[in-house]
Structure 1
Amino acid sequence: MLLELKNLKKTFKDNHVLKGIDLAVKEGEVIAIIGPSGSGKTTMLRNINFLETADAGTMTLRQKRIDMAAPTQEQVLWTRRHMAMVFQNYNLFKNKTALENISEGLIFGQNKSKEEAETLASRALDQVDLLDKKDFYPSQLSGGQQQRIGIARATVLNPDIVLFDEPTSALDPELVGTVLRDMKRLAERGQTMIVVTHQMAFARDVADRVIFFADGEIIEQGSADDVFDHPQHERTQRFLSAIAEDY
């Protein structure tokens, strides 16, 4: 198993956002996490990447076990070298070009030379069909283009796992398709992915496993066909009934 979470818990004041999450992820697996807003999906991703610190739980990544409530700085840095995250709102440096946004992580995070970093960044841009935009700044790019650069930035680091936090939620509808296309290409190349998404058609088409989250818990999980066509839990049935036209 590439990644395993055990009893992950997180509370904000009196709000129990994560109530003891267990999750195992195989290498090359694409997991889509669906569920109502506020159910804890994004919080789980942020805890996995130590953007927030859990109240309890353990994570085992590549057989290295980490106490998620008390990770050392070395463990946090090690984890982040093995993971990358694509955010809702792109998180690009506005004073850097597309090429620089991708290459700087290689220079400062992996000690690549500027020449090697720019070569790798150019290749990553080419994979998302944006090499011709390498000298453009974020303000000169559409939201969809910025998000695709965010994907290139994440994958150029060659991570074991890419975490996607609702990567299309901030986009105009006509821009969503290009981002989902690049994500599907990643999945086809065997990239391990955990995707929090409201794009049900994408989850159905690409995910090896769909997980339904509600009220800080994993309510149901299984293949896309099992979850979408034969949901077992009443809460899952109610959620899917409300969004039936989306998938």
Structure 2
Amino acid sequence: MTRVLLADDHPVYLEGLAALLTATGPATGIEVVGTAADGEQAVARAAELAPDVVVMDVRMPVLDGIAATRQVLEGAPGTGVVVLTMSEEDETVFAAMRAGARGYLLKGATRPEITNAIATVAAGGAVFGPAIARRVAEFLTPRPAAGGPAFPELTAREREVLDLVAAGRANPQIAAALYLSPKTVRNVVSAIFAKLHVADRAEAIVRAREAGLGRVSPGSPPGPPR
């Protein structure tokens, strides 16, 4: 049997899913060993019960599902996590993947889709709902080379800031170079991270340098005001 922990802050949905999986357990090989009403409970129950798979909602109180996924996997890296949520936003999808989730389904998924996802993740695989899989494929597919600028999803100002980030400049240096306030630079950097789906500055630098940015010398003087 595949031992499953369910985490969701909506009692009706949580109870319904638990009842559904329990009723079909003999046929699907799934045993619901526990439930949790928030992310903190999910982490504690996962440590206590050592499930094979955690089915995790994202938007939960106390501790959200992304942070909870990360903590569960820090304690038990072999645990499979299937995110089951209403959110199909790119930022949420890729944040879940970076946290270590190997399954991502929307709450409109059918019972066979959910049980198949649990079985696949328990066996070491990964599975995503059709809409999510298309989005992941689009993100991972290299864009055809064109004469346009790198990262067309960024504004001209964001590309300018990213170029300086890739050159190794810290936010205060970027603010001085572009005659911007430090707060504006922080906001622009945050927008760049979100649009590029990167977790931190180091990942942004790698992406930018691969695209040919960052050739400005870190010690070069500030340019003229814009």
- Does the alignment reach a TM-score above 0.5? no
Q: Which has the higher contact order (CA 8 A, sep 6+)?
A: 1
Task: Give 1 or 2 for the bigger CA radius of gyration.
Answer: 2
Q: Which has the higher strand share?
A: 1
Q: Which has the higher helix share?
A: 2
TM-score by length of 2: 0.34
TM-score by length of 1: 0.32
